[in-house]
Each structure stands twice: as structure tokens, then as C-alpha cells.
Amino acid sequence: MIMKGKKGLIVGLANNKSIAYGIAKACHEQGAQMGFTYLNDALKKRVEPIAKEFGSEAVYELDVSNPEHMASLAEKVEKDFGKIDFLVHSVAFAPKEALSEPFMKTTKEAFQIAMDISVYSLIDLTNSLESVLSDDASILTLSYLGGPKYIVNYNVMGVAKAALESTVRYMAVDLGKKGQRVNAISAGPIKTLAAAGIGDFKQILNWNEVNAPLKRNVSIEQVGNSAMYLLSDLASGVTGEIHYVDSGYNIMGMAAAQTNEEGKTVLSWDAKN
């Protein structure tokens, strides 16, 4: 088993539809032991059964914007696991109005919240866990194509993802001196709790399905398997990478097109609907 003997922490799992769930499932199936965090009591009720599903009783309250939570996390993790070999950062947030209003209407406060929760938390979390991360630990975060490219309605979260991807590269250099690795997975659109806040998300799903080379969307299981590889020793020579798991959509330079019954060239989206 690829992850046998490996111990890790999954931060940001919300339910069994989360990408983080797919990652935890893949790691568990390959022998890993894991701890999990929850944001509040409402999510604790969802996370605890999932932890038990994966044979774990290690569940910790963690609001990444709460200094006390961050300061006490390493001690709790060390008590249950000693050192950990991998860390999954699945945390992102922006105020609702920052996603529903035009990007140019983003307030300074909303911008700062999005950057703090979605980006700085990766740096802060890694620093907070420095004492319990093994010398060859692998750290993984989650991005989206809305970082390097414009995606409708993604707004300030796209800017945050761009910053997150740059953070991965800079962290890779600093952590590489210690022998630790950091990477990101840029997953295609998936129906998750977080995605519910993106306007016209169904259209994004349909567009990706029609225009991706594989003509389908990805699942949390597919993302989970790729993540497990990056977290494992199989990827011991990989760091600073943004790994796309999106059925190839990211390679497309323009939308697929075809000719309709009237002989006019139309986008695949228009032809399908």
C-alpha cells in the first residue's frame, strides 16, 4: 500500500461531497492514518462520522483566522500522531457579496478576508505545524483555473487562487531546503458546498463537460487519487507544481465549435442547448 505508515492532517473537510473527502478516501485506501479539523459545531457533526469512517478519532476544532486555534493545533496533533507526513489545506472563503457583485465592486474588507482565509492560512498553518511536520513532509493545497484565467462569477476568489498558486512556488523554495514539498491541485468544477456560492455554476459545469478534451467533468475520487500521488513518496521529486485534474480543460485555447443545421459555426454550448 502506497501510504502505509504515513500520517497526515486534512484541514477543511466539510462533508462527503468535498474534494478533501476524496483525498482522504484515497489516502485511507492506501493505508494512511489521518486527523481532521472542523470549523464549528455544525460542521463537527459532519466531520466526526467521516473521521470514524476512515478509522480515526482525531478531530480538532480549527478556525484558521483564530490565533488561539492555530497556536494549540501542533500540540494536539503531536499528542495523537507524533510527527505527520502530509498536510492537506482545503480552505477558501470570500464574503458572498464579493462573489455576487462585479469584481470592481470588491471592498477592501472582502478582499482582505478572501486573501487571509484562502491564501495566508496555508503559510500560517504550515508555520504552526512546523514542529510536527516530518523532514520529508508533503503539503498540498487546492486551486482552480480561475486563478491564472478569468472565470465568470469567480471574482475575488480568482485573485486569491492566483496568489495561492504563487505562494506554493515561493513556499516550495523555502521548504525545499528542509526536504519538504508543497504542491497544488487545480481541479475542474465539482458540485461541492463551496461551489454553491458561485453564480451560474451549472453553466460552468456544462461548459467544462462540453469543451474539455475528455468530454466529461471530474469526480472527487479522481482528484483524490491524484492528490494521494502528490502526497506520497511516488512524488518525492515533485514540488512547486500546480497539477491540473480537469479532464484537460485547461489546455483549451478556445471553445470547441461545430456547424449547425443552418451551416453557421456555433459554440458547442449553443449547439448542445
DSSP assignments along 137-163, one per residue: EEEEEEE-TTTTS--TTTHHHHHHHHH
CA end-to-end distance (rounded Å), the chain: 45
Question: What burial class does residue 44 get, using C-beta atoms within 10 Å of its C-beta: 0-12 exposed, 13-18 middle, 19+ buried?
Answer: middle
Cβ 138 vs Cβ 231: under 8 Å: yes
As a whole number of angstroms, the distance between CA 71 and CA 167 comes to 22
CA distances from 244 to 133, 200, 238 (A): 26, 22, 14
**Backbone φ, ψ for residue 256 (5° rounding):** -65, 145
Residue 229 among the catalytic residues: no
Given 144, 229, 244, 249, which residue is catalytic?
144
Tell me the three cell numbers of residue 51: 473521521
Residue 144 among the catalytic residues: yes
Given 154, 229, 244, 249, which residue is catalytic?
154
Beta carbons within 8 Å of 153's beta carbon, 6+ residues apart: 99, 100, 198, 199, 200, 201, 204
Q: Are strands 265-267 and 257-259 parallel, antiparallel or unpaired?
A: antiparallel
Tell me the catalytic residues. 144, 154
